[in-house]
Structure 1
Amino acid sequence: MEEKPLSGWPGKVMVCMGISWNGPTSLYFVPPKAKMNSQMFIDLILEPLFKKDVPRLYPGEKSHPPHGQRRGSRQGYGRQVAPRSENKIHYEGEWMSNSPDLSPMDYGVNSI
């Protein structure tokens, strides 16, 4: 079989996907040549994630940790999406990851 030389670089695609203990989320594609900003991130990724994937991956649960609620976060994107969602958001003081009894798994992810 004869290989044809490439005429240029392949097309670029911006896509978002998550992986959780209960399975992967859907793929979310960003339109070509779009400039991602906070509102576009909320509209294209967070809202469908809260409405479609969270109920599918966590059936029966009405709460989940927030996205974008780290100490350095300027805007709480999760706070903007949460009122439009049936799910309750756990904020910084309520979330288990702030517990001193919980050991983080950063070493496993960073050593791969």
Structure 2
Amino acid sequence: MDETVKSTIIETVVARAKDLRPSIHIGSKYGGTIFVTDPEFPDSVSLVGGVYGYKDYVSVEFSKGAGFDDPNGLLAGKGKARRHVKLHSLGDIDAMNVAGFLSQAFA
């Protein structure tokens, strides 16, 4: 994946997160950008997810995604709680319902 495309996808996901929840705190951890509801507790229940750039895609990860409403089966992962979507293009942000999953993460 082209680095410019990757950066644009990440920036767009972060902007959507800020639009959906203006009070969300953005931080850097685990090699990516994380979303926390309370910066005093970034590693506990406050960490709701993040966005990470990899060689061939961008992953948007949700700490409690296993409990999300996902009627189209877009979320991947088999962990006890975490789920993610892989984005290969800017259009995947809408196609993979990133805003809907971010809304659920912030609820």
Normalising by structure 1, we get a TM-score of 0.29
| Greater Rg over alpha carbons, structure | 1
Which one has more relative contact order, counting CA pairs under 8 Å at least 6 apart? 2
